């Protein structure tokens, strides 16, 4: 019997992963990272596009971490690229990932180098998770599995660093976000915003685990970006109704995140909380200076349009929504914005 195309691809993914893992292991232990120099640009392009699209962190901010990750990126990126994998292939990839995580556990002379390694591997794990978490409804059986693989990886990292508060924060953040997965899309694949989600569908077990982790992390009194983001997610998780959300506290947490990890995307997210606390005029004033940096960012124009709509500036809102549709990454995103346009049309009648 002739092998099927999928079986052939699974075989290829398995052996490609084994080869990449072997090369990674050999190069790391021989200390010859220079061999990867000519490959950095080839790897950097897709990694950077993924990083910017899923985290909003600037290319310049990510470049040092991605270059440091030259020795660990091969198995991580192979998992991102190969989303449909057989159980055998997944086991092979997880074995390679264990090498990546234990890359952190190799004795080093300087504590700073250990911290840099931890930050690099944490960023790669979060990128894998986000690639799955951001999957469309019709991609949950393929790309969606990456979110689960990211959670598996962060659990492994937590076993290596059980007392590291930022690792606890990262694990909590991923668990609290993934807990909402069952409520994020409707039956037609349309996006359901957080405030409109059926919270009875949220995964209570993962929420409890995430809350316990972030509570433990905060007791160390060594705040970091992952912990702050997890604390924000925890406030959403603790609110059993959208109306119960503590937006004032979320605003304060985003202000802290702006200090720890300045980014126009962080400011954009904070503006959503500011809108709830101080109104759309204050939120719009906050995001106006971000226009140049976020001109090609779908969510910027969607948020701006929504704020302008609340202020009854309909023509400007329509222009912002039109731009958001043009930049939408998925049909579901475009359909969500069209709902706002339909609402504007009804208000105009």
Closest alpha carbon to 84 in 20, 139, 18, 24: 139
Site of tokens 């609402």: 343
Regions of the chain with pLDDT less than 70? 1-114, 137-144, 346-349
- Residue 288 lies inside a defined structural domain of this protein: yes
Confidence at residue 122, expressed as pLDDT on a 0 to 100 scale: 86
> What's the number of domains the chain is made of?
1
Say which residues have a Cβ less than 8 Å from residue 270's Cβ, sequence separation at least 6: 251, 254, 255, 257, 258, 286
Q: What is the pLDDT of residues 71-98, one digit of tens each?
A: 444 444 444 444 444 444 444 444 444 4
Please give the backbone phi and psi of residue 180, each rounded to the nearest 5 degrees, phi first. -90, -5
- The answer to whether 277 and 247 have CB atoms below 8 angstroms apart is yes
Q: Is 283 helix (H, G, I), strand (E, B) or coil?
A: helix
- Residue 280 lies inside a defined structural domain of this protein: yes
Token digits for 41? Answer: 């640009």
- Residue 65 lies inside a defined structural domain of this protein: no
Confidence at residue 226, expressed as pLDDT on a 0 to 100 scale: 97
Secondary structure (DSSP) of 15-79:
HHHHHHHHHHHHHHHHT-GGGGHHHHHHHHHHHHHHHHHHH---HHHHHHHHHHGGGTHHHHHHH
Confidence at residue 29, expressed as pLDDT on a 0 to 100 scale: 35
Confidence at residue 304, expressed as pLDDT on a 0 to 100 scale: 96
Angle 258-259-261 (CA atoms, 0-180°, nearest 5)?
65
What is the SS3 assignment for 181-243?
A: HHHCECCCCCECCHHHCCHHHCCHHHHHHHHHHHHHHHCCCCCCHHHHHHHHHHHHHHCCCHH
Say how many residues make up the chain.
349
- Residue 76 lies inside a defined structural domain of this protein: no
Secondary structure (DSSP) of 114-159:
HHHHHHHHHHHHHHHHHHHHT--GGGTTTTTHHHHHHHHHHHHHHH
Confidence at residue 245, expressed as pLDDT on a 0 to 100 scale: 96
- The answer to whether 75 and 4 have CB atoms below 8 angstroms apart is no
Rounded Cα–Cα distance for residues 43 and 77 (Å): 9
- Other Cβ atoms less than 10 A from the Cβ of 233: the count is 25
Confidence at residue 139, expressed as pLDDT on a 0 to 100 scale: 67
Rounded Cα–Cα distance for residues 21 and 270 (Å): 40
Buried b (16+ CB within 10 A) or exposed e, 212-230: ebbeebbeeeebbbbbbbb
Confidence at residue 348, expressed as pLDDT on a 0 to 100 scale: 62
Rounded Cα–Cα distance for residues 150 and 130 (Å): 8
- Residue 276 lies inside a defined structural domain of this protein: yes
Would you put residue 56 in left (φ > 0), alpha (ψ -120 to 50) or beta?
left
**CATH number of the domain that residue 282 is part of:** 1.25.40.10
Confidence at residue 112, expressed as pLDDT on a 0 to 100 scale: 62
- Residue 238 lies inside a defined structural domain of this protein: no
Q: What is the domain range of residue 298?
A: 264-349
- Residue 250 lies inside a defined structural domain of this protein: no
CA-based Rg of the chain, rounded to a whole angstrom? 21
- Other Cβ atoms less than 10 A from the Cβ of 342: the count is 10
Q: What is the pLDDT of residues 294-348, one digit of tens each?
A: 999 999 999 999 999 999 999 999 999 999 999 988 888 888 888 888 877 766 6
- Residue 237 lies inside a defined structural domain of this protein: no
Closest alpha carbon to 236 in 211, 209, 270: 211
């Amino acid at each position: 019997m002739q092998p099927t195309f999928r079986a052939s691809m699974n075989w290829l993914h398995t052996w490609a992963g084994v080869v990449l893992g072997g090369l990674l292991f050999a190069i790391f232990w021989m200390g010859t990272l220079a061999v990867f120099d000519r490959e950095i640009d080839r790897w950097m392009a897709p990694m950077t596009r993924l990083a910017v699209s899923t985290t909003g962190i600037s290319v310049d901010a990510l470049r040092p971490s991605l270059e440091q990750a030259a020795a660990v990126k091969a198995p991580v990126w192979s998992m991102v690229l190969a989303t449909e994998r057989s159980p055998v292939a997944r086991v092979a990839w997880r074995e390679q990932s264990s090498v990546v995580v234990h890359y952190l556990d190799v004795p080093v002379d300087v504590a700073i180098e250990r911290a840099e390694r931890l930050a690099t591997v944490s960023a790669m794990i979060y990128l894998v998770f986000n690639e799955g978490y951001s999957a469309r409804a019709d991609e949950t059986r393929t790309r969606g599995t990456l979110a689960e693989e990211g959670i598996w990886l962060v659990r492994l990292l937590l076993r290596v660093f059980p007392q590291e508060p930022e690792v606890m924060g990262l694990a909590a953040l991923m668990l609290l976000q993934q807990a909402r997965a069952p409520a994020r899309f409707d039956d037609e694949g349309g996006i359901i915003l957080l405030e409109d989600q059926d919270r009875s569908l949220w995964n209570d077990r993962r929420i409890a685990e995430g809350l316990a982790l972030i509570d433990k992390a905060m007791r160390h009194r060594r705040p970091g970006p992952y912990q702050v983001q997890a604390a924000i997610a925890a406030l959403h998780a603790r609110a059993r109704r959208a109306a119960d959300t503590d937006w004032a506290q979320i605003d304060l947490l985003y202000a802290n995140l702006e200090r720890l990890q300045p980014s126009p995307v962080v400011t954009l997210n904070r503006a959503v909380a500011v809108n709830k606390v101080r109104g759309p005029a204050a939120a719009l004033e906050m995001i106006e200076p971000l226009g140049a940096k976020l001109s090609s960012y779908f969510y910027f124009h969607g948020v701006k349009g929504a704020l302008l709509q609340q202020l009854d500036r309909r023509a400007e809102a329509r222009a912002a929504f039109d731009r958001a549709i043009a930049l939408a990454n998925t049909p579901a995103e475009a359909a969500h914005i069209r709902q706002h346009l339909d609402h504007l049309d009804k208000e105009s009648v």
